[in-house]
Chain A
Amino acid sequence: MKTNRIILLVFMATALGIILFLFNKNSEYVSFKEAAISGNDVHIVGVLNKTKPMEYDPAKPNHFSFYLTDTLQETRQVIYDNPKPPDFDRSDKIVVSGKMEGAYFHADKILLKCPSKYNTDKEKKTE
């Protein structure tokens, strides 16, 4: 076999390896329950639980805490080390990414899905 063939083969094998590695590295959309079991970095889709307290003091801008109810209706506290996102109160769906740390979910990213990003919207009015 010629050297260039070997190099090509090695290259392809690496490519395959990277792709397999990738599929193990991806996060998943899960519930709090699964997140607690796996302990991995995950995404959780949920809604803000408005009956529970939301904690934010601008004097402590690196701490924001709220309660999120996931799609299986389980509610957990979420702690986020950044100021409260400005349009947080109007979001209808919240995607948090991070991991469970004991009783609470430590989020490093919050993605808000507002009823509509820009257009005036019916849903917002009916709230």
Chain B
Amino acid sequence: MEDYFKNEHLLIGNLGHLAVAITFGASLLALISFIFASKDGDQKITWFKTGRWAFWIHGVAVVAIVTCLFLIIKNHFFEYQYAFRHSSLDLPKEYMISCFWEGQEGSFLLWLFWQMVLGVFILFKVNKWTSPVMVFIALSQVVLSSMLLGVDLDWFHFGSSPFELLREHDTSWIDPNLPVYTMRGMETSDYLKLIKDGNGLNPLLQNYWMVIHPPTLFLGFASTIVPFAFAMAALWKRNYKEWIVPALPWTLFSAAILGTGVIMGAMWAYESLSFGGFWAWDPVENASLVPWLTLVAGLHVMLIAKSTGHSLKEAFILITITFLLILYSTFLTRSGILQNTSVHAFTDDGLSNQLFVFMMLFVIINIVLLVRSWKEIPSLKTEQQLWSREFWMFIGSLVLVLSAMQIIFTTSLPVWNKIVKMTGLENVFNANVAPPKIDVYNRIQLPIAVLIGLLTAITQFFKYKNSDIKKVGRSLLAYFLISIIITIGCVFLFKTYNPEYVTMLFTSVFAVVGNIGYITQVLKGKFAISGASVGHIGFGLMLIGILVSTTGKRVLTSNNFTMPGEKMDANLAENMLLSKDKAVQIGEYIATYRGDSNIGVNHYLAVEYEKVDTATNKIVEHFILHPNAQANPKMGLVANPDTRHYITEDIYTHITSFSGLDPQENKEDWANADTIDISAGKQITLANNNELTLKSIKPLSEKGRNFELHFILKNLKGEEQITMACTIENNRLLMSSAIDKDKLTKFDLIDIKPSKEKGKKDLDIKLVTSFKNNLKDYIILKAIRFPYVNLLWAGTVIMVIGFFIAFFKRRRDARRVGLGN
């Protein structure tokens, strides 16, 4: 039967299927081997060696899957549904890799790939934790690779294979007019001739951020498995304290990468989405932020546990829940449950049941192990002292958890609605809760940020166990005063006067100043141990950047223009129409839309900005932005903003609509045609308030068959003379027309006849006047100024550097006791 179809490239797909099978089988073998290798006995070493071999084979197979899929996309083998759905012939090479994360299969593959790489790293240096940790990593690999199996049983869907052929795929979603649809009826054997091109990659993914953001974020997701595996191994092996030392560098690595991934997502949104900002509390964004918050909280609690022995249980809970939240987030965004609330949630591809089962599998293993060990986990009888570092660090972690809870609860409202409806408790609970406005998030997260800033500033000055509060107070006093002075300066610089914002500004500044102080005063500038403080400085800067750019954001295209008789809130009028070549005031700029350069489906709409110094009348600033609008046949308008970056502010512009979108509308060059009658000496007011006078009708020939009409057109600029020639041949008027100097008004002569009024020898002229259609080429633009958004990006870089300094320090610590990688 396979030979029936012509021109298919089945070899590569079969290799891919084989690689998937090996990936799954080898990870299963690795799982079993590592379980036995974790138990004491004679066979321990043999099992470990088997497990390691299995994992390496697994790794090679994962690379083989990636290679096969890439070759299929690169060679445009559209007989494979993945290539058909996610790529097209005109897709630039650099975006081919982005096809991997448009589809579910590709995303799981990416995740699988990163976890495999991390597993290989762990296997490099063997110690007593290696086998039990690898058990959980191998288990996760079994789970993830099963998502790619694509085995359909009657009662369950086991994954979805990226190597599925188009003709094997459930084709109901494909265009019914496409011949492939009839493939099951085997009506055509050479169907590939009929497939001219693939469906193409979502234009939002055709962006350089989308090449680097998903792999980073997925490495962040994948890396949370390692601290999780350490915690689970510790519970399983009943070795409750030692795991913290080898797990700490991994936790720091994970926090650094996941944090980078989240902020890269924000940058992508800022650079290429048109919602006007870097964060919209969208479920997909929230789903990646929440695990980061619990991970950072877990990191701090791990440090408490390591240094004092307190809070070990909390460390277990937070580190394991981080990984479970990653699974939950994947479930939320991939199961289709968020479709009513998020613009970019995925639709259900039939994998949500499997995802749910796997999530529950890990939840149950986690709960079973925690419950079994709960009473055995050592907890100190002594209480934490009030003036100790661990107590305030613990409070800080709780605040982070609180923040995470608010976000995840709110994001999960659709799940809540569904549960209420499923359990039939609609009479008791409200099943129609909709997500709140962004404002609600901001109002709750603001006091949380205030607390976090404050705790970040002061906590390091306390010592573990107990400290002299007077001494702490003395060393903090100077930084407190410096921060107040800086805050006052910032209030005037940033023009932030709202007391809530000023409070947050102060604690964020205090966090930065306090930690700079800690590095210079306490650590004496020792770089190698300054990781925490550097990270905190970066975090403080991020908070300042978020606060100032969000609260100081100003829509430049907002105007106070209200239509007569129309009630309109001036604040809501945020869009401005720019007709081609007509200058408009936007903020302190004079903006002119200069035209559309069209490359394929992409329209690059040039908007020229000029800033004129009113005193000297000189142009002090000049730039052209090219916000991009893609008139996508499948998605309508996809607008990519263009931003002018300065050190202290960004001018962000994006198109909300443009003339190229509506081919039916405004196609005519000339609009508002009007017929007027005029005779010599008469004056008429035209529809555009210009005045037209027919000065004279001059016969050009003896027979009176040729005339010249002399008009005067009067407008605001002055007068101009318009001459129109007209000829009558065989009693028929030949069409003639004239256009004014500015090419704004057109006159078409349609009739000329002797005056009906008796006793007059005049001629009556009938003209059609029409006006240049300004709306032929226009854009509707939104321009926003974001001040100091660079503080957020710079703060992120500094924070990540801090995480890595700490990572290297903790890795040295772990290696010193023979537990490091």
Using Cβ atoms and an 8 Å threshold, which residues of chain B touch A19?
405-406, 409
Stretch at the interface among B21-29, B115-123, B171-179, B645-653: B171-179
Closest CB of chain A to B664's CB: distance in Å?
Answer: 11
Whether B574 is near chain A, meaning CB under 8 Å from some CB there, is yes
Tell me which of B199, B339, B432 contacts A29 (CB under 8 A).
Answer: B432
Using Cβ atoms and an 8 Å threshold, which residues of chain A touch B172?
122
Could you tell me the dominant secondary structure of chain A's interface residues? mixed
The CA of A62 and the CA of B402, in the complex, are separated in Å by 39
The CA of A30 and the CA of B430, in the complex, are separated in Å by 11
Chain A residue nearest to B342 (CB atoms) is A111
Whether B659 is near chain A, meaning CB under 8 Å from some CB there, is yes
A62 touches B386 (CB 8 A): no
Chain A residue nearest to B200 (CB atoms) is A118
Whether B697 is near chain A, meaning CB under 8 Å from some CB there, is no
Using Cβ atoms and an 8 Å threshold, which residues of chain B touch A87?
635-637
Whether B413 is near chain A, meaning CB under 8 Å from some CB there, is yes
Whether A74 is near chain B, meaning CB under 8 Å from some CB there, is no
The CA of A26 and the CA of B411, in the complex, are separated in Å by 11
Whether A59 is near chain B, meaning CB under 8 Å from some CB there, is yes
Closest CB of chain A to B415's CB: distance in Å?
Answer: 14
Using Cβ atoms and an 8 Å threshold, which residues of chain B touch A25?
436, 440
Closest CB of chain A to B354's CB: distance in Å?
Answer: 22
Stretch at the interface among B212-220, B232-240, B561-569: B561-569
A59 touches B430 (CB 8 A): no
- Which residues of B from 356 to 411 have beta carbons under 8 Å from A? 383-386, 391, 395, 398, 402, 405-406, 409-410
A58-B659 CB under 8 A given contacts A22-B406, A26-B413: yes
Chain B residue nearest to A14 (CB atoms) is B402
The CA of A117 and the CA of B173, in the complex, are separated in Å by 12
Tell me which of B339, B409, B661 contacts A113 (CB under 8 A).
Answer: B339
Tell me which of B176, B434, B665 contacts A43 (CB under 8 A).
Answer: B434
Using Cβ atoms and an 8 Å threshold, which residues of chain A touch B175?
120-122, 125
A2-B202 CB under 8 A given contacts A11-B398, A29-B432, A63-B566: no
Whether B590 is near chain A, meaning CB under 8 Å from some CB there, is no
Against B, the Cβ 8 Å flags (1 = close, 0 = not) of A1-30 are 011110110010001001101100111111
B434 touches A18 (CB 8 A): no
The CA of A41 and the CA of B433, in the complex, are separated in Å by 12
B656 touches A82 (CB 8 A): yes
Using Cβ atoms and an 8 Å threshold, which residues of chain B touch A45?
340
Using Cβ atoms and an 8 Å threshold, which residues of chain B touch A7?
386, 395
- Which residues of B from 81 to 121 have beta carbons under 8 Å from A? 85
Against B, the Cβ 8 Å flags (1 = close, 0 = not) of A60-71 are 111100000000
Closest CB of chain A to B446's CB: distance in Å?
Answer: 12
The CA of A87 and the CA of B633, in the complex, are separated in Å by 10
Whether A42 is near chain B, meaning CB under 8 Å from some CB there, is yes
The CA of A85 and the CA of B385, in the complex, are separated in Å by 58
Tell me which of B391, B398, B574, B575 contacts A4 (CB under 8 A).
Answer: B391
Whether B735 is near chain A, meaning CB under 8 Å from some CB there, is no
Chain B residue nearest to A95 (CB atoms) is B340
A27-B566 CB under 8 A given contacts A58-B775, A61-B576, A87-B636: no
The CA of A58 and the CA of B89, in the complex, are separated in Å by 35
Most central of B199, B341, B432, B637 by chain A CB within 10 Å: B432
Interface size for A (C-beta < 8 A) is: 50
Chain B residue nearest to A43 (CB atoms) is B434
A62-B383 CB under 8 A given contacts A28-B430, A83-B656: no
Closest CB of chain A to B337's CB: distance in Å?
Answer: 14
Chain A residue nearest to B86 (CB atoms) is A118
Chain B residue nearest to A6 (CB atoms) is B386
A26 touches B391 (CB 8 A): no
The CA of A119 and the CA of B172, in the complex, are separated in Å by 11
The CA of A119 and the CA of B173, in the complex, are separated in Å by 7
Using Cβ atoms and an 8 Å threshold, which residues of chain A touch B656?
61, 82-83
Whether A90 is near chain B, meaning CB under 8 Å from some CB there, is yes
A11 touches B395 (CB 8 A): yes
Whether B437 is near chain A, meaning CB under 8 Å from some CB there, is yes
A86-B398 CB under 8 A given contacts A4-B384, A61-B577: no
The CA of A108 and the CA of B413, in the complex, are separated in Å by 21
Against A, the Cβ 8 Å flags (1 = close, 0 = not) of B569-606 are 10011111100000000000000000000000000000
B398 touches A62 (CB 8 A): no
Closest CB of chain B to A63's CB: distance in Å?
Answer: 7
Using Cβ atoms and an 8 Å threshold, which residues of chain A touch B11?
none
Using Cβ atoms and an 8 Å threshold, which residues of chain B touch A120?
173-175, 178, 199, 634
Whether B331 is near chain A, meaning CB under 8 Å from some CB there, is no
B568 touches A63 (CB 8 A): yes
Using Cβ atoms and an 8 Å threshold, which residues of chain B touch A58?
577, 657, 659, 665-666, 775, 778, 780
The CA of A83 and the CA of B383, in the complex, are separated in Å by 61
- Which residues of B from 331 to 362 have beta carbons under 8 Å from A? 339-341, 343, 347
Whether B552 is near chain A, meaning CB under 8 Å from some CB there, is no
Whether B150 is near chain A, meaning CB under 8 Å from some CB there, is no
Closest CB of chain B to A81's CB: distance in Å?
Answer: 4
- Which residues of A from 32 to 80 have beta carbons under 8 Å from B? 41-43, 45, 58-63
The CA of A50 and the CA of B572, in the complex, are separated in Å by 26
B435 touches A82 (CB 8 A): no
B575 touches A83 (CB 8 A): yes
Using Cβ atoms and an 8 Å threshold, which residues of chain A touch B659?
58
Using Cβ atoms and an 8 Å threshold, which residues of chain A touch B402?
15, 18
Whether B444 is near chain A, meaning CB under 8 Å from some CB there, is yes
A27 touches B635 (CB 8 A): no
Closest CB of chain A to B297's CB: distance in Å?
Answer: 14
The CA of A121 and the CA of B347, in the complex, are separated in Å by 14
Using Cβ atoms and an 8 Å threshold, which residues of chain B touch A84?
657
A26 touches B406 (CB 8 A): no
Closest CB of chain A to B680's CB: distance in Å?
Answer: 37
Using Cβ atoms and an 8 Å threshold, which residues of chain B touch A15?
402, 405
A125 touches B569 (CB 8 A): no
Closest CB of chain A to B270's CB: distance in Å?
Answer: 19
Q: Report which B residues bind A (CB closer than 8 A).
A: 85, 172-178, 199, 202, 339-341, 343, 347, 383-386, 391, 395, 398, 402, 405-406, 409-410, 413, 430, 432-437, 440, 444, 563, 566, 568-569, 572-577, 634-637, 656-657, 659, 661, 665-666, 775, 778, 780
Known: A11-B395, A22-B410, A117-B635. 20 other contacts (CB 8 A): A8-B395, A15-B405, A25-B436, A26-B413, A26-B435, A26-B436, A27-B434, A28-B433, A58-B657, A61-B577, A63-B568, A83-B780, A87-B635, A90-B636, A97-B434, A111-B343, A119-B85, A121-B175, A122-B172, A125-B177
Pick 17 A–B contacts, CB within 8 A, sort by A.
A2-B383, A11-B395, A21-B444, A26-B433, A27-B435, A42-B434, A58-B659, A62-B568, A63-B566, A81-B573, A108-B572, A116-B173, A117-B635, A119-B634, A120-B174, A120-B175, A121-B175
10 shortest interchain CB distances as A-B pairs: A87-B636, A86-B637, A81-B572, A43-B434, A62-B573, A27-B434, A83-B657, A61-B575, A86-B636, A29-B432
